[in-house]
Each structure stands twice: as structure tokens, then as C-alpha cells.
Chain A
Amino acid sequence: QQQVKQSPQSLIVQKGGISIINCAYENTAFDYFPWYQQFPGKGPALLIAIRPDVSEKKEGRFTISFNKSAKQFSLHIMDSQPGDSATYFCAAARGNTGNQFYFGTGTSLTVIP
């Protein structure tokens, strides 16, 4: 059973555009929601993370929007650049159970120059 569902599977965006990736979860015990960026042949790199006590977090061009009632969260990449082309994973974790991360299936983002 997939604990975290991610969409779309792939995304093509023009340079300068906004990339939006969505995730949904079922387990209300999750209390930490990170986003990771992965380039081919590399391990995932932590981009930005949010906890359910806030509805939005922004770091540079990256913003997480969090909707606790809908059990959904999304990553927005503003002014998308070709260097942002990578696979993005959302994840969810429960703080009191050893910090096991449940990952989404990933979104392959291509930013066209």
C-alpha cells in the first residue's frame, strides 16, 4: 500500500514557468513532509520541508503548500530553470516511530530552455 501518492509522474515546463508537483497522504500521524531532488546517478538531496503547523513554507524559488484537512501538500518551483531538471520525491514521516520516511513514486521534471 502506497502511503504517499505523488503526481504527475512526469512534467515538462518552459524556462521561467512554474512547476507544480502534488502529493497526498492518508496517515494523519505523519508530521514531517520533506521534498527531495535527485539527479541521475546521485542520492536524493533535501530541498525543503514542512511541518503541519504551517500552511506554507518558502525557500528561494521553492515553496511547499500544505493542506492539513485535505491531507495534501505540493511543491511549487517558481521561475523554473533547465538546471531544475531532475526527479523530485515527496516524503512523509512520523516523528515518534524512528523517523521512517515514506516516499512518493517521484516526478521527472524537464525544463525546456
Chain B
Amino acid sequence: ETGVTQSPTHLIKTRGQQVTLRCSSQSGHNTVSWYQQALGQGPQFIFQYYREEENGRGNFPPRFSGLQFPNYSSELNVNALELDDSALYLCASSYRTGLAYEQYFGPGTRLTVT
């Protein structure tokens, strides 16, 4: 069974630029959630995708957007980067059936905005 993978591992961007982060779900999973984890904090929910549709969104501005593809992989796009966007971005996958809960996290992408 393949776990959740994310790319790239690390990324350095300049304020105002745009970034795309990628996530491959665990085999058999159809739901992907994205989280932002600032240093020393718990993960904060950005949004979730189920069957290629956004299925819930946290308190993040519209410049955070996403996609889910037919193979259930996903992208997180952040436009107009700000210094406060520097964080570890985590992707979590799960299999949604009824009240599915268990989310499995990838290793994350460390984004630094200068």
C-alpha cells in the first residue's frame, strides 16, 4: 500500500509570487484535505476535496485554491504569497464512505516566503 506523498519537499518563494503544491493520495482513498501548519502550532484546515469538488473550507482567503484530479491526486495553489504563508503544508487523504474519519498525512511541503 502506497502512503500519501507530497512534492516538493521544500520550496522558497518571494512575496507576491504564486506556488503550486502537489499531493498523491494513499491508494484507495478518494478524499484529500489540505492543512497549514505554522511553526510550533497545530495544523489548520484549509479545504477538502471529494470526487473533484471542494467539500468544506476553513478560514483561508480565496487566494488559496485547489484541485482534485480523477486519480484523486490534488494540488494546492497559493497566489500573491505573503510572508505569513511560510509554513508546512500538509496533505491528508481518507476514504469517504458514510462517516469516514481516518485521515492519513503526508510528510508535508515546507514553504518559505521571503
Contact = CB atoms under 8 A, between A and B. Distances in A.
Interface of A: 4, 6, 31-32, 34, 36, 41-46, 49, 89, 91, 93, 95-106
Contacts of A41: 107
A50 to B, nearest CB: 11
B107 to A, nearest CB: 5
B76 to A, nearest CB: 14
A44 B90 contact: yes
B49 to A, nearest CB: 10
Nearest to A31: B99
B25 interface: no
Contacts of A95: 99, 101
A68 to B, nearest CB: 17
Contact of B56 (A44, A49, A100): A100
Given A43-B90, A95-B99, 15 more contacts: A44-B90, A49-B102, A93-B101, A95-B101, A98-B48, A99-B48, A99-B56, A99-B94, A99-B96, A100-B48, A100-B56, A100-B58, A101-B33, A101-B45, A106-B40
B31 interface: yes
